[in-house]
Amino acid sequence: MVKETIFSSIIKHVIPADILYQDELVTAFRDILPKAPIHILIVPNILIPNVNEIKYKHEKTFGRMFTVAAKIAKQENIHEQGYRLIINCNKHGGQEIPHVHMHLLGGIQLGPIL
């Protein structure tokens, strides 16, 4: 079981990041290797390794991730043109860090995923 990730260190302010939002449930910050002009990661403050580990008790946290995504999209002025939200799960799903996280991508016309 993973005990710490780079995201855990960002949440605790051990590693610097461009944090756009933080509360008791989630933290949102700019990706350091953006795939679009706007690329923000939204992560739960508790370490949940992947989507398969989400439980009923986490519903408030994951609901908050979506409301924070909408709030940041509006702050970044991409809410009307549109944006993409992505959550990857495990190796074949493209997950690289074992801490559930949502990608908010926008600022350009995004093409098909597949």
Q: Which residues are catalytic?
A: 101
Backbone angles phi, psi at 17, to 5 degrees: -155, 160
Classified as helix, coil or strand, 78 is: coil
Which pair of structure tokens corresponds to residue 44? 């739960």
From CA 69, how far away is CA 65, in angstroms rounded?
6
From CA 69, how far away is CA 41, in angstroms rounded?
9
